[in-house]
Amino acid sequence: MTMTLLNAFLPHHTTLARMRRQFVAAAFLSLILPPCFSQAQTGSVPDTTAQRVAACIACHGKEGRAGSDGYYPRIAGKPAGYLYNQLINFRDGKRHYPVMTAMLVNLSDDYLREIAQHFADQHPPFPAPQPSRATTAELLHGQQLVHEGDRTRGIPACIACHGTKMTGVKPAVPGLVGLPRDYLLGQIGAWKIGVRQASAPDCMAQIVQKMTPEDISAVASWLAAQTVPVDSKPLSSPASMVLPIDCGGVPQGAAK
């Protein structure tokens, strides 16, 4: 069952061999770039933000705008709280990618906050969305789940947490527009099979368990087909905002 789900959510354009090559390349980077993350800079290596994030942009692209193949996601402009939570999750083993864990394992919380804030402050332009191969019915189903959810199955609308424009909500809810379909499929699928986790209560894991593979494909297809709004910055969380489900990665009091 686990392998069936995993195969359903593997990126359609990415073969296992290609994933292995990317892993080897990233592992090589982790060997040659650790000084970028070292807190005890010595010799001629400057202790600057640019030097500290050099390993990040080697995979995530200039300013964190995303890797060219869609495998490494855009981190630029994401809420600082969200980026910090993900760095913590990689460091502490809630998200599983050995290269990231190896680079982060010895870094302090304060150091990770600095890295997170740096990329949160970057706002390079988004590329145009790639043409969608989804059917009209699939896109309409995805749009309905994003905007309305499915009350009969206890699935809240995506916009209830990720913002009306799906560009995220400060301090810790990420935007989902502007991400490739394959990346969205991979991450939602990782929650579905328990490979990706977040701080308890893990709201995404709870929601995704109620979704079918068809639901997930439809949501990913619709999101990836959307043009990112001109103002793509995360929304500021209003004092009255109440999330439909408790989320461990969101400050207490913002969800109910």
pTM listed for this prediction: 0.81
Name residues of the chain where pLDDT drops below 70: 1-43, 239-240, 252-256
Please list, in sequence order, all residues whose beta carbon lies within 8 angstroms of the beta carbon of residue 48, skipping any fewer than 6 positions away: none
Per-residue pLDDT tens over the stretch 45-77: 788 888 889 999 999 999 999 987 778 999 999
Closest CA to 167 of 68, 233, 224, 112: 233
- C-alpha angle 126/62/21, rounded to 5°? 100
Class of domain 136-224: mainly alpha
Please list, in sequence order, all residues whose beta carbon lies within 8 angstroms of the beta carbon of residue 31, skipping any fewer than 6 positions away: none
17-to-8, 13, 20, 40, 182 alpha-carbon distances in Å: 17, 11, 5, 37, 16
Look at residue 44 in the predicted model and tell me its pLDDT.
73
Please list, in sequence order, all residues whose beta carbon lies within 8 angstroms of the beta carbon of residue 7, skipping any fewer than 6 positions away: none
Strands 168-169 and 173-174: antiparallel
